[in-house]
Every structure is written in C-alpha cells, then in structure tokens.
Chain A
C-alpha cells in the first residue's frame, strides 16, 4: 500500500475513534501529557504507547489532555504487523489507545473522560518523501 494511503486511512479512523488529529506542529497546552507513540495503526486509528524509562504509563493516563506525537513512517496497517514487529521485545506495558476514555454505563449515552484523558490528540510528523 502507498504510504499516503496508510496515512489517510489512519487519520480517518483515528478521527472516527475520537482523536483530534493534526499533521505537522500543533500548539501545546501547558498541562497536557505528551508522548512519543511507538506506532500508529491505520486499520483502527490507534496509537501504540510503550512503557519505558522515557515514557511513564501515567503520562497518558492522568492528565486531562494527552498528545501523542507519531512519525508518519511508524504507521502500520494493523495489529498483526504490530505484533510481528514487537513480539520478541515486548515492553512491560504496551498500550494500544483508540480514542479518549469513554463509557456508556449511564443510560447508555456515550460520555468521554470518565477515567483517562478527556481529550486525545495525535500530531503526525510527516516523513520527508524527498
């Protein structure tokens, strides 16, 4: 698949999942948690966050607003490719995040931000296709 198609599919699915997606730089809000995504998944519009000394779990859990930076060339088609690449070197926690924290537990109406971030942003850093 062409790289541009993967990007377009990622953006479409990520927006459908409730992410606010921008390509290129975005304005930072001061108290937002900022992560570097290990991968993006085009099929589901997910960002993949791996726990590490540089990437604490709570950074993407506790703040009201969370921003993931995602390099365009790190967008994979889906789970199968993710597990093929990472299967032999899994981090202690690999979070596949698909939109903001949500619940339909009260009267079956969707509410966002019951536990995790209420706003999830993805900033895609374009690859220089030269």
Chain B
C-alpha cells in the first residue's frame, strides 16, 4: 500500500493518478459497464424485481433489528451440528483467533478464498507474522497477492491488470515462461493453486450469509475456490461479519436471487454452497473442524444509530458500477478494502471520520447507488449525514467551516443575500481568469452571471 502523508489526502492523490492513467480509465469503463448492464438485464428476468427488493429490504431489517437473538440462535445451531463459534470484538481479536486456531491445528499453509473481511482485519499479515503461509485462491486476489497490491473492486479485484502483467507474475512463480494467452494463464493458475488446495492444512473463507435457524453458512463463488477451500483442508475457518446473518432459509432464497443478479448479472453464481457443520460420519472428505469467527469491529455500535441501514449491505458491488465517482477513480482511492458508495459510507463508520474525511464528499449525491442497491440502502442520505458529522465533529478544517457559517448568516437575511450576489457579480470576471490556477477550481468552468438578477429585471 502507498504511504500517504495524511489520511484526507489519500483520495485526492490516488484519484488524480487514476484519472491520468488511460489504461485504468478504459478498464474501469469496460468493467463497470459490463457489470451494470449485466445487472439491469438480470433484474429484467425477475417477474417483479421491485417487490423482490422490498422483500430483501425487509429481511435485512429483520435480521439487523434482532441481531443479538439471531446470532445467538445461529451460534447454538452451529454448535449442535459440531462446529465452533467465536465472537471477536475487534479486528485484532479476530486475526488473533484465526492465528490461534491455525496454530492449534499445526498449520504451515493456509488457503483462502475471497473475503473482504479478511482484508479489513489484515489477516494475511497476522498469519505470516505467525509463520503460516497464506495463499489467495480467488484468481484475481492471487494475481494481486503475487503483485503485492490491494484489491481494486470488491467483485473484480484485479480489474486493472493486463494479461501481460499476469503472464509476467505467473512466469516468476511457475519458474518457466508463461504466455499472455488467456487459456494458458488459466491452466497455469489451475495447476499452481491445485497444489495449494491439496497441501493446505487450513482453509479460510468469508461468509456471504449465515442462516440463524439452521446454523448454515452460505458461500457464493464463481470459480469454485470457496468450495475447494471449505472441502479439502482438514480445518475450515469461516470469517463472518456479524451483520451477515439472515433469520431463515426462506430469507436466504430471496437474497440469493438478488446477489448474483446484482453483482455480475447471473441468475445464480456458479457455486452456491450451504455448509452445515463439519464432515459427518462416513463421509470421505470435508473438514474435520469448522470454526466460525463472528467479527464485530465497529458494527454493533451502528445498530441503534441513523446509520444502521448500512448493516443491511450484502456486498454485491452494484453501487460501485453505477457511481460516477467510482467509475472514474476506481477502488484504490477509497481504501485497500471497501470502495465506491458503500465504501464511502462504511469506511468512515468503521474507522472513524478522521481517518476517512474525504470519503463522504466523494459523491455527487446523484442517487444512482440507491436505485441500484438490491436491498434499498439510502446511501446518499447516509453520505449527507456523514457530511453533517464532519462539520459537527470539527473534522472539516476551520476555514471551510467558518466560510459556510458566514455564508449561512449572510443568506439568512434578504439584504445579506443581495449583498453577496452583488459581490459575486463583481468578483466573477476576475475569478474566472484565476480559476485555472486555484486549487479545487482548476478543471472546472465557472458560470457566467447575467448582468442583472432575475429579481431586478
């Protein structure tokens, strides 16, 4: 990850870089258009997608409003089928727990399928510090791990890599020249990762949904790595954000109908696996142990706040693909984990506004994200609330706060309003000339004001 001087500067500096990068602009256009069009076409195939979204919204509300009892029921059910559940309050606790379980299992190699939460708790660093090698098995994540870079999209993490980039990385690992042909690259990855699946002592996955009534965890992948990681190693550790819970299987059916369609435009992703406990008597394969680590890391504090709806998010990425800001600046500007509109809300909430002060403002509030959200999270409203908090918590710099206070005071009287309009009219020609040299105004065109206001005409 790039070191930045202060957290607020990150979004600006990273996005400037991406905006200048022609290749990045092209792949962002292609990826976001492809996924966005896929979603729209897939939503068409549902009889009444709006009513399905209403149901999904209601399900998520029910899941989160009774979060404690749902989690309790889930933990009991997992225990009944032979699994173990742990609750981790912080990222550190969660990472420590995974390290402890892996050590107890005598693990030297862990295979991991894609999990945004594992990025959030910096699991790879923790395991490596403990001397346990961890290998990403999602093709995109694997490529990024080899390159030493963070993911750039929650669905297509390696969105910015070319086949030549990948061929170079694979040649190094395979210790033979690998060409940039797509099927050759796929075959090479298959061979390299197959060894990892077979040798790994521990398989680490995320959790797309957890079903309270049955104690099942649901994994959704297209590559099938989620299924391999949870089937072949003798220990399966599932990392679950505490808000992944759904009350029952009927609820899961509704959400699964929306997840694949909203993420990639598929009716269902290629592999949807429902895991209910470790392997049972007489079964030839499957893990001997199933551990579910339920992670809080700032989530429970959001429950009874105005921001609780952010806990409804099912991580489909639909809001990224429609966002005019994400579509230009890509994922890395936001953070190493979450990005786009959902990230712009979630990151300040989980890490504190002071660590992500640019994100609530990295939006035009156009509302496309709310329209695309399968569970109808009012993301623009939440961004506005965060902007309010920025001012109230004095994260916004004092000159800006002062300027807005003066403006608000001036415009609260007709005289003040007219005075500022006169001043603006007088200053505008000069401002238009200076704009290209002013920070924040370069690249923008200031409007021409008519000679007389509408009122005076």
Contacts and interface: CB of A to CB of B under 8 A. Distances in A.
Interface of A: 13, 17-18, 43-46, 51-53, 56-58, 61, 78-80, 82-84, 87, 90-109, 111-116
Interface of B: 27, 30-31, 34, 81, 137-140, 143, 156-159, 161-163, 166, 182-183, 185-186, 189-190, 193-194, 197, 213-214, 216, 222-225, 227-228, 230-232, 249-250, 252-253, 256-257, 264, 266-280, 282-286
Contacts of A91: 276, 280
Q: Which 3 pairs show the lowest CB-CB distances between chains A and B?
A: A116-B224, A105-B140, A53-B282
7 contacts: A43-B267, A92-B275, A103-B139, A113-B186, A114-B139, A114-B186, A115-B225
A105 B139 contact: yes
Given A91-B276, A92-B277, A98-B270, 15 more contacts: A43-B267, A44-B267, A53-B282, A56-B284, A57-B227, A79-B256, A91-B280, A95-B272, A98-B268, A104-B264, A105-B139, A105-B156, A105-B158, A107-B27, A108-B34
A80 B250 contact: yes
A106 B227 contact: no
A102 B384 CA distance: 39
A108 B272 contact: no
A91 to B, nearest CB: 7
Given A56-B283, A58-B231, A106-B143, A101 B271 contact: yes
A97 B271 contact: yes
Contacts of B225: 114-115
A115 B286 contact: no
Nearest to A82: B253
A100 B237 CA distance: 25
A82 to B, nearest CB: 8
Q: Which of A92, A97, A99, A103 has the most CB of B within 10 A?
A: A92
Given A108-B159, A113-B186, A115-B190, A92 B286 contact: yes
